[in-house]
């Protein structure tokens, strides 16, 4: 029997960050991972490889579409799809090696295998060679993440009907792809493959893309993706798919129940993700799940077993890597007797299309639904000197603020480098800086960030200055 102060189950961003923080606080810490490499979905088959392919595909797209406008003339631009995938694999390997180093540096014991609770204080870890290790721990942190979801009556065969995991490791560039779901995963995958010449169609049930974000962002992104050549079908419900051997077909209906079918080489299911708790042996504990299969926790992320905590995708809230990281640190410090806090409304969300989409705080729709008064400042990238110089004129920054005192309530950006720009807005919300204070600070010129400055200025009730 191995004994530890804290044992973390799952080594994704939430898990490895939790383990590192526990070790930093002086606890004898272990981490259990079922796969041969650390990092979970994000590092191996999610955030990191997707961003690697997004960057590669954007370079290829720019070489074809805009290099000549910059005076760069190429006789021929060719895509080596195998190298396209190989570079992504190299990026993943570099990141997983970095995690191994961090585990060693912080003296965290790593167990490779599947963890199963025996009771409220012990687990059994079964390794790939079928050997078992018994672990007793004062505290456990469950960080087992999520798996791709599907629709009723639709089976993912990983051949023609695939998820984002398989889409990251295809052998050849597909000629066509239908993506079911226009959320974050769907639009990012659509961007990757559309840029390299795949005919892409998105079929989305909601009335707009990225429907959980501010609706103006989704509407703007839809127009941009359509302009880039992606076919977008909104307000459509998929009721069946079929593998036809060398291709697949999807069956769907519109709002009037009129039926349609569409064929492509691959159908990619991108309808979200579900908490992953299968095989954990939760039935051997007194841990409870909610109606969506998530682990029930209190405000301290403590399950119904006081010594067991849960973080990340297996608990309520947005399925974001950085949200899981925040919760990993939070739980470690709660166990240590500290009093940390997380403002969930101040955790940003990002979509890595190009242009990028980023958001933090309340959406306009949420403020209207809650009856909260607000002012709005919206400024386009087309009026930015920096954006014009880079030929990146699509998009806008929108600031929502409280009328009386100017507290920033929400910031929503679609445009170049939005993923980086949103960090400044997060600071504004976290420290309750006013809209007028946010525009009165100095912004370097010319930069994309000046679009935010103008949006803050407009939200405060002042006139914008053309940049």
Give me the active site residues, please: 445
Strand partners, 34: none
CA 443 to CA 139: how far, in whole Å?
47
CA 328 to CA 143: how far, in whole Å?
9
Handedness of CA 324, 325, 330, 332 (dihedral sign): positive
CA 218 to CA 225: how far, in whole Å?
10
Q: Which two tokens stand for residue 418?
A: 């939005």
Q: Is the separation of the CB atoms in 318 and 184 below 8 Å?
A: no
Q: Among 144, 50, 39, 40, which residue's Cα sits nearest to residue 98? A: 39
| Rg (alpha carbons) of the chain, rounded to whole number | 24
CA 384 to CA 68: how far, in whole Å?
23
* DSSP 8-state code for residue 383: G
Give strand ranges (E) for 181-272.
199-203, 231-233, 237-243, 248-253, 259-264, 266-269
Q: Among 2, 19, 4, which residue's Cα sits nearest to residue 311? A: 19
Parallel/antiparallel/unpaired status of strands 132-142 and 146-148: unpaired
Q: Which two tokens stand for residue 438?
A: 């946010």
Percent of the chain that is helix, strand, coil (3-state, to 5) = 35, 25, 40
Q: Among 200, 148, 446, 445, which residue's Cα sits nearest to residue 319? A: 148
Q: Among 32, 9, 44, 19, which residue's Cα sits nearest to residue 295? A: 9
Q: Among 263, 207, 210, 215, which residue's Cα sits nearest to residue 234? A: 207
């Amino acid at each position: 029997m191995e004994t530890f102060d804290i044992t973390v189950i799952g080594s994704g961003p939430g898990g490895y960050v939790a383990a590192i923080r526990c070790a930093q606080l002086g606890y004898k810490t272990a981490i259990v991972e079922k796969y041969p490499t650390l990092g979970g979905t994000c590092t191996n088959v999610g955030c990191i490889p997707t961003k690697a392919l997004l960057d590669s595909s954007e370079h290829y797209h720019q070489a074809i579409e805009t290099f000549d406008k910059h005076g760069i003339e190429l006789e021929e631009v060719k895509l080596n799809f195998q190298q396209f995938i190989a570079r992504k694999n190299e990026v993943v390997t570099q990141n997983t090696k970095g995690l191994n180093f961090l585990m060693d540096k912080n003296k965290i014991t790593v167990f490779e295998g599947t963890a199963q609770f025996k009771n409220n204080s012990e687990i059994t870890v079964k390794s790939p060679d079928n050997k078992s290790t018994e672990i007793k721990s004062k505290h456990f942190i469950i960080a087992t993440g999520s798996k791709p979801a599907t629709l009723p009556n639709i089976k993912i065969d990983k051949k023609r009907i695939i998820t984002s995991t398989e889409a990251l490791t295809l052998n050849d560039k597909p000629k066509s792809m239908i993506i079911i779901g226009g959320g974050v995963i769907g639009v990012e995958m659509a961007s990757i493959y559309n840029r390299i010449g795949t005919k892409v169609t998105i079929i989305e049930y909601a009335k707009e893309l990225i429907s959980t974000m501010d609706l103006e962002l989704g509407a703007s992104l839809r127009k941009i993706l359509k302009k880039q050549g992606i076919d977008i079908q909104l307000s459509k419900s998929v009721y069946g798919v079929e593998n036809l051997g060398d291709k697949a077909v999807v069956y769907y209906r519109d709002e009037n129940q009129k039926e349609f079918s569409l064929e492509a080489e691959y159908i990619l299911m991108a309808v979200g993700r579900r908490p992953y708790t299968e095989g954990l042996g939760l039935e051997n504990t007194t841990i409870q799940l909610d109606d969506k299969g998530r682990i029930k926790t209190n405000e301290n992320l403590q399950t119904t077993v006081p010594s067991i905590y849960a973080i990340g995708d297996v608990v309520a809230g947005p399925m974001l890597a950085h949200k899981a990281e925040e919760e990993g640190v939070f739980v470690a410090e709660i166990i240590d007797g500290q009093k940390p806090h997380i403002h969930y409304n101040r955790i940003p969300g990002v979509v890595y299309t190009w242009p990028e989409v980023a958001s933090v705080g309340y959406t306009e729709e949420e403020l209207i639904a809650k009856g909260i008064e607000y002012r709005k400042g919206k400024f386009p990238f087309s009026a930015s000197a920096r954006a014009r110089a880079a030929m990146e004129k699509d998009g806008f920054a929108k600031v929502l603020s409280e009328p009386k005192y100017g507290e920033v309530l929400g910031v929503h950006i679609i445009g170049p480098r939005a993923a980086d720009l949103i960090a400044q807005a997060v600071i504004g919300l976290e420290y309750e800086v006013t809209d007028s204070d946010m525009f009165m600070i100095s912004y370097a010129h010319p930069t994309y960030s000046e679009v935010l400055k103008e949006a803050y200025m407009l939200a405060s009730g002042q006139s914008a200055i053309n940049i």
